[in-house]
Every structure is written in C-alpha cells, then in structure tokens.
A and B are shown apart, each in its own frame.
Chain A
Amino acid sequence: MKCDKEKLVSLADRCLSEHEARAVEEHVAGCANCRQELELLKSDAAMLRQEPKPEVPAYLATRIIAGVRQRQVQAGPWLIATPVGQRGLSRIWARAAAVVLVALGVWLGTALARATVGPQQSFADRLAQVGLELPNGEDK
C-alpha cells in the first residue's frame, strides 16, 4: 500500500471498514512519515475537541416552535400535512365533488343550448301552449 493521507484521516476518525483499517495500520507501522502524520491528525482533533460547547440562547426551542407555528398560520392550511387516516376519505370527497361539478356543467350547458338554439317556436306558439292567443291584427 502506498502512502494515502486521506485514508489516515479516515483511520483517525474510525471511519474505515475492519479490512481497510488493518491494511492502513500495517502500512503505518512500516512508514515513519505516515506514523507522524497520524499522530498529528489525532492531536489536532484532540486539541479542537477541547473547545467548550457554545452557550445555547435561553428558550431557543420555545422560540423555534413559535416560529414554526407562526409560519403555519401565515402559509395557511395547505401547509398542514393531511392526516394519513383521512387521506383516503379526502380523495373520495374530492372525486365525488368533481363528478357533481361535471354533471352540473353538462346539465347547464344542455339547458342553455336548448334555450338559445333549441326548437324554433314563435311567441304566438308559446302563448298558445299556455292557453293564450295574440289579439287580432298582431303580427305573429
């Protein structure tokens, strides 16, 4: 195995498989440069880990939760995920509403067509249907 500095980082971070780690360790045992580099990598990491944890602002979680709820209110109900148990039910209602709308559209269209281009009847004929007639001399 040749010197591979990136593999040394993986070894120092314990991110190699057992087989790979063994191969790198065997190389390191016989290579002074890699041995020194591995020690430096470990000591760098140990030094960085000495940094204390940052102080977390008070009530951060509460403020985040409030922010999420505020976003929820601003965005409206479509941001809320549909509860799994109600998904099937919502789909059925949506399909039923679509069918009703299409049927309504067809009926309305037909009715309008009848009214505009339907059977040609004169005004006198329509009056006659309800038992009335035009006075004499009126133009039919």
Chain B
Amino acid sequence: MDDGQLVAQAQAGDLSAFDELVRRHHVSVYCYLYRTCRNGAEAEEMTQVAFVKAWEALRGFRGQASFKTWLFRIATNLCINRLSRRKPSDPVSEEIPAPRRDEPEEALRQRLLSERIGRALEALPADQRSALVLSIYEEMSHEEIAAAMGRSPASVNSLLYRARIGVRRALEDVHARDLTRTSAIDNRESCVYECEEHEV
C-alpha cells in the first residue's frame, strides 16, 4: 500500500494507517533532524512533535506534494525555529568523547569524520544547513527541497550553492584545526605497530 492510500485511510480516522506512516518515515525524519541540529535528544523530541503535528493537521493535507515532503516541511519549520532560538553561547552539539586507546581504528576514523562534518555543518546558517542535508542525505530534488522548505526552486538553487561553498570553507578550517589531532592518532597507530614489532 502506498503513502497516498495510507494517508486517505488515516484521514478517515484509521489510526493504524497513521502508525504505518510513522514506521515508514520516522528514521528519515530523525536522521534529517539529527544532522541539522546535531543533538540526539533534540532530534528525538522534534521527531515526536513533527508526527503529532502531522496527525493534527492531516485533515488539511490535500496531497499537492507527497506525504514525505509535507512531513519534512513540518520538520523543517520546527528545526529552523529551534535553531533560530539558539543563542551563540548555547552548546550546539553533543559532547564528543575523546578517543579511547582500545577503540578500533575504523570506528575512530568514522567518528572523527562525523565530528568534522558536524562542525562544518554547524558553521552554516539554519536554512542552508537544512537545504544541504535534504539534498545530500535525503537525496531530494531541488523542487522537493523547495516544497519542503516553502521556497521557490530558484532560491533553493542559490541557497544550496552558498551552502556548498560555506561547508567547503568550514571543512578546510576544521581540517586545519584537526591536523594536530590526526597526527596524534597516526602517532598512536605507529606506536602500536612498533610495540607489536617489539613484542614479536
């Protein structure tokens, strides 16, 4: 059964049809909100609120856009409001734990990459960040992003270009700042390697 049919059933008062829509879309909504606000607790709370709001407003959904796009519009409004209320002094993202000595190399690299991308995204204004996440991770077309953000496709093109330039600069800055840290990891690796050779 496609989303349109489930929406029609839910509009007719069938809560179990709406439950199925929740099961289908909660992961993508959560990931989108997490990547945009970089905080698990906030993303979880906003995901919950987004679905409650969607249920409340479902009677007004006329199907001009897909249910997913409509849902993402609710999530985007919540997210941009939340980010605009953040003060510069507020801690933006969750505390990232320091590398453990016994952490597997691949896990450590993935974590550092996430941290680096997270910091680069945080350097962008909220609307650019939302557009970029929808484009890169949700693989939405520019028209879908425009519908999800309540903007024209032309303004989305401009937003995405500025976001790409912004994130590139931010990644360069983050990369420069992380060079010391990365070399420390490399030193740790070479140390482990030398120790292993010594033991042999």
Contacts and interface: CB of A to CB of B under 8 A. Distances in A.
Interface string A16-58: 0000000000000000000000001100110111111110110
B11 A10 contact: no
Q: By DSSP majority rule, is chain B's interface helix, strand, loop, or mixed?
A: helix
B44 A71 contact: no
Nearest to A47: B171
Contact of A60 (B12, B44, B143, B157): B44
B142 A71 contact: no
A40 B10 CA distance: 45
A6 interface: yes
A80 interface: yes
Interface stretch (B52-60, B75-83, B176-184, B190-198): B52-60
Nearest to A48: B136
Given A52-B114, A54-B35, A81 B12 contact: yes
Interface residues of A, number: 40
Interface string B166-180: 011001000000000
B15 A13 contact: no
B15 A72 contact: yes
A117 interface: no
Size bracket of the B interface: 35 or more
Q: By DSSP majority rule, is chain A's interface helix, strand, loop, or mixed?
A: helix
A72 B51 CA distance: 12
Nearest to B120: A48
Interface string B12-51: 1101001100110011001100110000100110011001
Contacts of A132: none
B164 A53 contact: no
B5 interface: no
A50 B26 contact: no
Contacts of B18: 68
Contact of B161 (A5, A53, A84): A5
Contacts of B110: 52
A82 B53 CA distance: 18
20 contacts: A9-B160, A40-B168, A44-B164, A45-B164, A47-B171, A48-B136, A48-B137, A51-B114, A52-B113, A56-B26, A60-B44, A61-B26, A64-B26, A65-B22, A71-B56, A79-B56, A81-B11, A81-B12, A81-B59, A84-B11
